[in-house]
Amino acid sequence: MSRAKNNIGELGPLVGYHLRRAFGAFAADFAVAMEGTGMRQVLVGILTVVSGSPGINQGAVGRVLGIKRANMVSLINELVDAGLIARVVDPGDRRAFSLNITDAGRAMLADCLARIAAHEQRMLAGFSEAERAMLLELLGRIERRDPAAA
């Protein structure tokens, strides 16, 4: 492992750069963790939100997770086609679909969350509980910001 120059220069002190690299490392390991399930990061997110808010509609799920309405369509289709969520017309608002997790969805979600727990442990090996909590807190402060949309 003769680590070469690896001269990132002015990128070194940039949080944005390291956020990108850390996100990439997490995403790569996440994909490995999900192998065989057919699930991806976004799908697990949607399944979790639907599980926690039975009867929620697509738009609301998208708003919670930061996914555009247009992009929700095929994602929900994937989950419905896989039998993981059920979609019925909302009786109270016939424009909307009411989403609910199925038994198969619950089983899949449980499997995914177990895999994700192991994945997080791998990625955060060596982190103290205080460090993990601090990282969550700092990331939370960033994500609750949106200067671009101001």
Partner DNA sequence: TATTGTTATACTCTATAACTATA
Partner DNA sequence: TATAGTTATAGAGTATAACAATA
Among 25, 73, 89, 104, binds a copy of itself (CB under 8 A): 25
Helices marked H in 34-125 = 41-52, 58-65, 69-81, 103-123
Nearer to DNA, 71 or 121 (CB): 71
107 or 135, CB closer to a copy of itself?
135
Closest to a copy of itself by CB, 9 or 91: 9
Per CB under 8 A, 127 contacts a copy of itself = yes
Residues lying near DNA in the complex (CB under 7 A) are found at: 20, 24, 28, 40-42, 57-60, 66-73, 75-76, 90, 93-97
Binding track, positions 45-64, relative to a copy of itself; x by CB under 8 A: x--xx-xxx------x--xx
Backbone angles phi, psi at 37, to 5 degrees: -90, -20
**Comparison of 18 and 68: residue with beta carbon closer to DNA:** 68
Contact 67, 79 (CB under 8 A): no
Residue 84 backbone dihedrals phi, psi, to 5 degrees = -95, -25
Instruction: Give 46's contacts (C-beta < 8 A, 6+ positions apart).
Output: 61, 65, 67, 72, 75, 76, 79, 85
Q: What is the DSSP letter of 93?
A: -
Give CA–CA dist 70/125, Å, rounded.
38
146, interface contact from DNA, a copy of itself, none, CB < 5-8 Å by kind: a copy of itself
Enumerate binding residues for a copy of itself (CB under 8 A): 4-11, 13-32, 41, 45, 48-49, 51-53, 60, 63-66, 113, 116, 119-120, 122-127, 131-132, 134-136, 138-143, 145-149
